Amino acid sequence: MKFVDLFSGIGGFRFGMEEAGHECVGFCEKDKFARASYKAIHNTEGEVEMHDITSVSDELIRGIGSVDVICGGFPCQAFSIAGKRQGFEDTRGTLFFEIARFASILRPKYLFLENVKGLLNHERGATFETILRALDELGYDAEWCVLNSKDYVPQNRERVFVIGHSRGKRTEQIFPFESPSRSTDIQRNEIDIIGSVRPIGSNRWGDKDVVYNAAGITGTLLATDYKNVRKIAIPVLTPDRIEKRQNGRRFKKDGEEMFTLTAQDRHGIMIAGRLPGSHDQNSRVYSTEGIAPTLSTMQGGGQEPKIIQKPRGYNKGGKHEIAPTLSANSWHENNILQDGYVIRKLTPREYWRLQGFPDWAFDRAQKVNSDSQLYKQAGNSVTVPVIYDIARRLV
């Protein structure tokens, strides 16, 4: 089937749809950096290219021709539920209206939409009701489901997916279906936080301050993560062996990035939040600007875990009762927990992997964008394997 990719970003919808055998005929993305990545990754020759969706004329939309599906992970722009009709007219001024406008002109068989889970209860459900009424007025019967990316990749990311079925055209129900949870062979269904790198003096630490456990899953990736990239703790196996191996693979040399999560092998993502134990002070990992007390899961006997730092400056690889500062570039400094973990930041490539993108796509995008933009683009994207699992059911 032919589809139009609205609010296309870097092409998460497109990857899933094309993998399921569908064909893209046009795309729309306002952000020039995301658009650069999209065009570097995908062959868009001969397709209709649109930028600011609010500036796309009805005439241009008609020129797209016949399509079967409109895809769109539209921004959750605030609705003003002040109208009386609570339908199509009440969506004017929102970006959802633009999807509705495309649908009213192109009349596709399906609408395939995505948004944050919070859309369902925004304004106590009034926003979502307005969307459903708008779709009904346009001649679409809607079904929806909340799916979590953690059933496909190691990322906790709940999103609501809406399928609009054109009334009068033969379509089949999509939801519910069983997600391919891999919990039986990979223990990563829960987020495991072992420490925090929160600033000194802060009474609270948030999602950006934690370090994630390799045996668990990461929190939801956000477009703003480039300001404070998520930290991971990676297990270092057989540290004293001459021929060092990690999960059956060679150890990286000094200066190389550690092995990390892929779709096939999800080694070692750990959340820096809290260590196991009831003692609050001793169970945390500190801090981006100050010093940390000794990390401990056992008291006394000299068995408290220490932090070891690779030879650097005055530390010279020594063990200290007070840990060196965990700084924003600690992944370069190679700070290591004595019980076998190295803490570092996730790389932009790993962010893309956590959204299900292949490395070759990242390599192309990396040639045209900075790391900051690559982090943003991954955080804004949909998770490719989730899109594919839905797209393959569209017939």
- pLDDT by residue (tens digit) across 288-301? 333 333 332 333 44
Whether the predicted pLDDT of 389 surpasses 90:
yes
- The enclosing domain of 127 has a CATH number of 3.40.50.150
Encoded tokens for 101: 């406008």
Domain that holds residue 90: 2-182+356-391
How does pLDDT run across 128-142, given as a tens digit for each residue? Answer: 998 999 999 999 999
- Residue 257 belongs to some domain of the structure: no
Q: What is the pLDDT of residue 78?
A: 67
pLDDT in tens, 324-340: 443 334 434 444 444 56
Strand pairing partners for 97? Answer: none
Catalytic residue selected from 24, 71, 76, 145? 76
Whether residue 240 lies inside any domain: the answer is: no
Average pLDDT over residues 343-368: 94
Answer yes or no: is 281 within a domain: no
Asked, for residue 334, whether it belongs to a domain, the answer is no
Strand spans (E) along the chain: 2-6, 23-28, 48-50, 69-72, 110-116, 140-148, 158-166, 193-196, 210-213, 231-235, 245-246, 249-250, 270-271, 307-309, 319-320, 335-337, 341-345
Asked, for residue 157, whether it belongs to a domain, the answer is yes
Tokens of 216: 């668990």
Q: Is the residue at 151 inside a domain?
A: yes
Q: Is 76 a catalytic residue?
A: yes
What pLDDT score does 36 carry? 98
The count of other CB atoms within 10 Å of the CB of residue 124 is 9
Which tens digits make up the pLDDT trace of 164-210? 999 989 899 999 998 876 443 434 456 777 666 655 555 554 566 78
Give tens-digit pLDDT for 100-120: 999 999 999 999 999 999 889
Contacts for 86 with CB less than 8 Å, ≥ 6 apart: 126, 129, 130, 133
Q: How many angstroms separate the CA atoms of 89 and 54, rounded? A: 16
Q: How many domains does the chain have?
A: 1
Predicted local distance difference test score (pLDDT) of residue 268: 33
Residue 299, in any domain of the structure: no
Residue 387: pLDDT over 70: yes
For residue 226, the model assigns a pLDDT of 87
Residue 347 lies in a domain: no
Q: What is the pLDDT of residues 218-266, one digit of tens each?
A: 889 998 898 888 887 766 554 444 454 444 445 455 455 545 444 443 3
320: confidence class by pLDDT, cuts 50, 70, 90: very low
